[in-house]
Amino acid sequence: MNFKHTLVRKVLTVSLSAVIGFTGLALVQAQPASAATKADNIVKLGKRYLGVKYRFGAPSGSTSSFDCSSFTQYIYGKYGIKLPRVSSSQAKRGYKVAKANLKKGDLVFFSVRTPGKVSHVGVYAGSGKVLHTYGAPGVTYSNMNNSYWKSHYITARRVL
């Protein structure tokens, strides 16, 4: 009887250890990426497209050209954040963030057509820089504090 009792106890101990181990492994793997990690990854992905040409109305999912909102929709979408197709609709997602409290990965919105109305979007990349696409440079970084972008800034939204 003693041998059977010892064997059963060992089998149960090994089995229970395996279950606990696999459960712990599943919990570690199930942890979502932090917002900061997602933001870094989104900016890093966007950076891979530096120089890709700007084309107003570029189709969703295309990487041969982008307009501002197809660019943000694409790079955020690769990390599971679904954004509408146009900048004015993207400006209604997430929650409003004060310019002084911007974090990497926040969407920043500008008025480039009708004064006071959102018509351009980019990704705040940190250190006063926005990663976006417009005109001849295509996908590029711009300083949000230069006179043009500073005077056309409208709002920011946090979607991460």
Indicate which residues carry an active-site annotation.
68, 120, 132
Q: Which residue, 68, 61, 42, is CA-closest to 137?
A: 68
Sign of CA dihedral 21, 27, 33, 36: negative
> How far is Cα 59 from Cα 57, in angstroms, rounded to an integer?
6
